Amino acid sequence: MKQTLPVVGLACSACSANVERRLNQLEGIASATVSLATRTATIEWDESRIDLPKMKSEINAIGYDLVIESGRNSADIERSAYRSLRRKVTASWFFAVLTMCFSMRWIDLGSVFANNAAALLMSLANLVVCGLGFYVHALRQLRHGMTNMDTLVMLSTGIAFLVSTFNTFWGESVWGIRGIEWHTWFDASVMIITFVLTGRLLEEKAKKSTASSIRELMGLQPKTARLVRDGQLEFVPITTVAKGDILEVRAGEKIPVDGEVRQGESFMTPDGAYVDESMINGEPAPALKRKGAKVLAGTVISQGKLQLRARQIGEETALANIIRLVQEAQGSKAPVQRVVDKVSRIFVPIIAGIALLTFVLWWFGGGTQALPHAILSAISVLVIACPCAMGLATPTAIMTGIGKAARNNILIKDATALELLRRIDAVVIDKTGTLTVPNQNIDFTKADGLAFEERETLKPHAREAVDMLHNKGIEVHMMSGDKEEAARYWAMQAGVDHYKSQSLPQDKEDRVKELQAQGKTVAMVGDGINDTQALALSDVSIAMGRGTDVAMDVAQVTLMGDDLRNIAQVIDLSQATVRMIHQNLFWAFIYNIICIPLAAGIPYLFGIDFQITPTWASAMMAFSSISVVLNSLRLR
């Protein structure tokens, strides 16, 4: 069985990597992929060896939650978590301002001890009310030999708070009498938590935009239906509609289920109504639906009204399947993400080691007098390192790119296909049903007397689509079962330079192999069962949405309409998405490469009096994550 389930508690790439690794360790799970951007886990498992409650308990043990209850809605969980996070941010800023007032003596209580004690109470309240989750999650992770961003927050705030508390009560008696300048860093402790929480809030707000395509698709699903029962009409929740029920839909309303038309009427025709299917197939003109015609959930009655019999309901509808495909695709991982995940698993331990080394070198290098500076530098290193930016670099770009494709009636099934599309330099395309459509307005009983240019018609924009591919330097190879004369004619009409007549399914597969042997990255475009061999073999497989179910099942990309220009457009989108991934990864790595040495105090070695304090370090860390998400949103 395969299912995509929400995961609660993911905060950084190390989190998603830890959940994914734990799931894949469980006996009975064939594969599991966890996406930080979508907060979901796509799991394939053997039901005879493991069940969902077992998976849930294992994920709970390491500090996260797998949502398996039918009554729990992922959208509701996200909204509740967002509201809770917003409350914590508000409270944390309140405590932060008060702590700063006492630490900086903007509010003077009469003595250093009194001000430090007040700052201690404020920062302790902040740790308990707003930051306790970091400690709980980090400790659960450590018990299972795992680390994540919470580990760095726990270490940095814990060290700052404990050292500051020690110095508040014993700083003067232990360090002062030895002539060592001592400090408290309650303000740093509270500001680290405040900036991290604020960063996560802004990050969540920005990521809502990357998921807008899914919300738009879900918005196509009506919540109620007009049921025809014993000649009477009544509104019922969509969840109560059963297969075989008769429903009535009127002009301007969305069709609630996939069904078959029983009767229809409009002012233009007495036996049918017009349905706008553009949200499903991209076709701008409404389609006339008469008795026996199929209609799809989410499409809109533009004129008249229809009565239909429900055939597919709930998760069985074409719209639900599209939503599921887009969700799975947005949660899938591009090959480059696998490398990032491996780095994320060791990132936190490496940063902890660098922080310890920074402390030791400053202490031993500068003696006891350098102890405050050694502590400050170690805390800054722990705070400024940001695995979140690296972890978000790829999935946010993938999520936005696949969502944009969905809004343009292009379904991309996985991130690998989106990444590969930009490398396409050869396209093998089936003729009949893909480049051309049969002409149904002729008398086929007299077919022997017809010229081949009369049996079928070149699809609108087909010639333009081929020209767009040629302009990108992509070879186009047309495969046709027609005789030589007909194949040559249609190749000329479409502007195709390479073609093969009298092609069998094996010939299409052989052409794909031949081009791949030449070192080319090949896309196969088809719509029928006879194209499936070549579709399966190609580097990227593209099916027409009006083709056979088999072709669409095999294909990695489905064009929901008949506009072949979408092939060039999805290649452009692939190039833009991968370019965005590279930008995000570049800035994420550069940020860490530059900022970690600065936080460690390297400038002092060159006589430059410069130090990134823990407060500024936490602000910079939060901004790095937000910037990656905002950069990805430029794809929209």
Q: What is the mean pLDDT of the chain?
A: 87
471-521 pLDDT, tens digit per residue, is 999 999 999 988 899 999 999 999 999 999 998 889 999 999 999 999 999
- Does residue 378 or residue 452 have the better pLDDT? 378
pLDDT band at residue 452 under the 50/70/90 scheme:
low
* Amino acid, res. 367: G
CA Rg value for the chain: 31
Sign of CA dihedral 296, 297, 301, 307: positive
pLDDT band at residue 226 under the 50/70/90 scheme:
very high
Cα 484 to the chain's mean position, in Å? 47
528-578 pLDDT, tens digit per residue, is 777 888 888 999 999 887 654 666 677 889 888 788 999 999 999 999 999
Q: Indicate whether this model's pTM tops 0.85.
A: no
Give dist(CA 402, CA 411) in Å, integer: 8
Residue 212 confidence (pLDDT): 66
Residue 575 confidence (pLDDT): 95
- What DSSP designation does 42 have? E
- CB-CB contact of 137 with 205 (8 Å): no
- CB-CB contact of 323 with 411 (8 Å): no
DSSP string, 410-455: EEE--HHHHHHGGG--EEEEETBTTTEEE-TTS-GGGGGGS-HHHH
Give dist(CA 111, CA 118) in Å, integer: 11
Residue 444 confidence (pLDDT): 46
CB atoms within 10 A of CB 578: 22
pLDDT band at residue 183 under the 50/70/90 scheme:
confident
Give dist(CA 345, CA 21) in Å, integer: 10
302-336 pLDDT, tens digit per residue, is 988 999 999 999 888 888 888 887 777 777 777 77
- What DSSP designation does 187 have? H
* Amino acid, res. 89: V
Non-local CB neighbours of 203 within 8 Å, separated by 6+ positions: 388, 392, 625, 626, 629
Helices (H), 524-633: 532-537, 549-554, 565-600, 614-633
Task: Give the SS3 label for residue 170.
Answer: helix
- Does residue 446 or residue 35 have the better pLDDT? 35
* Location of structure tokens 């006891």: 368
Give dist(CA 461, CA 283) in Å, integer: 13
* Location of structure tokens 């979408």: 566
Give dist(CA 357, CA 381) in Å, integer: 10
Query: Among 58-62, 357-361, 455-459, where is mean pLDDT lowest?
Result: 455-459
Query: Among 118-132, 153-167, 223-237, 525-539, where is mean pLDDT lowest?
Result: 525-539
Residue 574 confidence (pLDDT): 94
Residue 211 confidence (pLDDT): 65
What strand order describes the sheet that includes 287-290?
287-290, 272-276, 300-303
10-60 pLDDT, tens digit per residue, is 877 788 888 999 999 999 999 999 888 778 898 999 999 999 999 999 999
Residue 438 β-bridge partners: 456
Residue 512 confidence (pLDDT): 94
Give dist(CA 466, CA 621) in Å, integer: 47
Residue 308 β-bridge partners: 247, 261
Known active-site residue 482: no
H/E stretch holding 247 reads: strand 246-250
Alpha carbons within 13 angstroms on the beta-carbon side of residue 536 total 12
Give dist(CA 584, CA 635) in Å, integer: 12
Give dist(CA 221, CA 373) in Å, integer: 59
- CB-CB contact of 255 with 295 (8 Å): yes
| Alpha-carbon distance values, 535 to 489, 516, 518, 552, 575 (Å) | 25, 13, 18, 10, 22
Q: Indicate if the pLDDT at residue 449 is higher than 60.
A: no
Give dist(CA 134, CA 156) in Å, integer: 11
- Which two tokens mark 616? 């500024």
Non-local CB neighbours of 151 within 8 Å, separated by 6+ positions: 138, 141, 142, 348, 352
CA angle 617, 623, 625 (to 5 degrees): 110
- Which two tokens mark 146? 């795992």
Non-local CB neighbours of 495 within 8 Å, separated by 6+ positions: 463, 466, 467, 470
* Amino acid, res. 528: G
Give the mean model confidence (pLDDT) for residues 375-389: 85
- CB-CB contact of 52 with 69 (8 Å): no
Catalytically annotated residue among 150, 258, 276, 430:
430
Q: At what angle do helices 186-210 and 74-103 cross, to 10 degrees?
A: 150
